[in-house]
Amino acid sequence: MPDRPSPNEGFESLTPDLIIGSVERALDRPMTGLTSPLPSYINRVYELETRDGERFVAKFYRPGRWNDEALSDEHRFVLDCAAHEIPVVAPLELADGKTLGLAGTIRFAVYPKRWGREIEITGDEDYRRLGRLIARVHLAGEERKAPARVVLHPLRSIENDVRSLLDGGFVTSPYQDGFKRICREIIDLGAPLFDGVEMLRLHGDCHVKNFLDRPGEGLMIIDFDDMVTGPPVQDLWMLLPDHAARCRYEMNLLVSGYEEFREFDDRTLRLIEPLRAMRIIYFLSWCSRQKGDYKFRTLFPDWGSDWFWSNEIKDLEQQLVIVRNDLRSGAGNV
């Protein structure tokens, strides 16, 4: 599960010498001096090169975000997908036989370099392709548990997120009662909908940027950093262009592709808007854990202010209205 970092933890120690030396020892291969940073806010990711010209990508995990067991759950899931011949980028086995290395106090993994362009959804078949790939991921996901990962359930993950925001003093005083009330109603409305719902290992963050289209090879799914245990519909709804009630056509396409490989429980479509509300709360909690980070403060200077919470509560209230209305009308059954 996520671990809150102490104020002194961070990437300050991650120098080029430490990066190169740690990866060199982990792979037992001499490296050049290349340490080309790649876009990533949460972690630190670098392209490296061996002296014989082979390129690798090393991902250094943000200290305090996941413990070793949770990182191992992620790697095991990706390796299970690879064993099913699902197009993923799996962590390499290091010289010690493990997939997690240590650079000082920072955990890292090494991956082969892969190319691809972000998928553009331009027609019906693109939705079906995405549905097919997600179903295959879920076939691998159902094979075993991920005991150290977040369980996506209102009474588990969101209860914890709300508690950490309130107990940590991140919600300013004028808005604490309103935030608590709205979150309580989201939890109370959402929790019964999860009764009897299948829960399995999921990617957890299935938006279009995490799918690469490789000409001649097809789709690849990347970045399992936010993997969770949860209902399969979680990996479908984030691909919709709007709220569920306005995206029946697109959702039906995703499900039709999904069901070419795996049965889908249509009753779980009513979870989409509660899951959207849960993601808003999760993201607020995630941001609170980054608040001490210099880069975060620079990019989001107003985060946590009265103005910020006023707007966030309005957004949550609007989403709560959608959840209430969908449950009353049955519109969640797309």
Residues 6+ apart with CB under 8 A from 43: 59, 60, 61, 62, 225
- The CA distances from residue 279 to 14, 15, 286, 319, in Å, are 31, 34, 10, 11
Nearest to 331 by CA among 240, 254, 255, 248: 248
Backbone angles phi, psi at 45, to 5 degrees: -130, 135
Q: Half-sphere exposure (CA, 13 Å, Cβ side) for 53? A: 0
- Tokens 């250094």, residue located: 60
- What residue has token string 């980028």? 89
Residue 140 backbone dihedrals phi, psi, to 5 degrees: -70, -35
Q: Does the annotation count 223 as an active-site position?
A: yes
**Within 10 Å of residue 331's Cβ, how many Cβ atoms?**
18
Q: Tell me the CA distances in angstroms from 317 to 184, 243, 257, 280, 321, one per residue in order.
A: 12, 15, 34, 11, 6
**80, 223, 225, 326: which one is catalytic?**
223
Q: Which residue has the tokens 């909908």?
A: 193
Active site residues: 205, 223
